[in-house]
Amino acid sequence: MGKAEFVQTYADIFEHSPWVPERAFARGPFADKLSLHAAFVAVVNEASEDEKLALIRAHPELGARIALTDASTAEQQGAGLKNLTEEEFSRFSALNAAYREKFGFPFVICVRRHTKSSILAAFAERLAHDSTAERETALAEIYEIAKLRLEDAKF
């Protein structure tokens, strides 16, 4: 597969960040999805701090009533975040605002590995982090999201 097709095929693995597969292309060929994921992770790890921050910021706030990518919609729906009660929506909105105010980017968690209650607990725990630790945690969650998206992909 050529570079353009490769980038188009894997563009949605990392939310609104086609630069990841674009840079990973040169590391191929890839034996399997695991080696492809490792190449994607290496690309992000080698990226500038501004690029890493842009990748984190490309993710939507949890439970927000906004248009999402197909992958984010399915993931949030699976965790029950697309059908929040008004009380739950208010709680998520307040936590999203507090988190964004403290860190300057949205709270990112691999929702497929969580429930509403465990996400709320993670919000509370992670709000206590410092900025450096939280950037690393957000990136680790993004890597897990990407891994699951790759596993699900029919490539």
Ranges of each domain in the chain: 3-152
Residues with catalytic annotation? Answer: 59
- What percentage of the chain exceeds 90 in pLDDT? 73
Chain-centroid distance of CA 143 in Å reads: 7
126 Cβ contact list (under 8 Å, min separation 6) = 99, 107, 134, 137
Q: How many CB atoms lie within 10 A of CB 85?
A: 8
Yes or no: domain 3-152 corresponds to CATH 2.120.10.70:
no
Tokens 């725990």 belong to which residue?
Answer: 125
Instruction: Categorize the per-residue pLDDT at 68 as very low, low, confident or very high, splitting at 50, 70 and 90.
Output: low
- Quote the pTM value: 0.90
By the 8 A CB rule, do 143 and 150 touch? no
- The 10 Å Cβ neighbour count of residue 105 is 21
Least confident among 39-53, 68-82, 109-123: 68-82
